[in-house]
């Protein structure tokens, strides 16, 4: 009886660990998908030349006036 309780407890801990690892992976995937959607939604051209703004950061995007990680400019 004691062995059965220990076995059931270990199986329960394994299941809890498995569920938490799977949830953590889905959160990272959702963040990546959101960044892809934002990258597709932002404009890629500007009257003074081609400008592309990517990511979330502290740099001002001259096209959208939002804080971004990187601004690429082709002249």
For the chain, 75 residues long, give each residue's pLDDT as a single digit of tens.
888 889 998 998 898 888 877 766 555 667 777 777 777 776 555 555 677 888 888 988 887 888 999 888 776
CA distances from 60 to 2, 21, 40, 47 (A): 64, 36, 18, 17
What residues contact 74, with CB distance under 8 A and at least 6 apart? Answer: 49, 50, 51
Q: What are phi and psi of 65, to 5 degrees?
A: 60, 30
Secondary element (H or E) of residue 22: helix 2-41
Structure tokens at 43: 């404009």
Other beta carbons within 10 Å of 55: 14
């Amino acid at each position: 009886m004691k062995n059965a309780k220990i076995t059931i407890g270990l199986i329960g801990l394994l299941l809890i660990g498995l569920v938490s690892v799977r949830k953590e992976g889905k959160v990272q995937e959702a963040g990546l998908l959101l960044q892809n959607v934002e990258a597709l939604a932002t404009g890629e051209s500007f009257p003074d030349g081609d400008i592309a703004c990517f990511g979330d950061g502290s740099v001002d995007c001259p096209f959208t006036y939002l804080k971004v990680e990187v601004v690429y400019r082709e002249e």
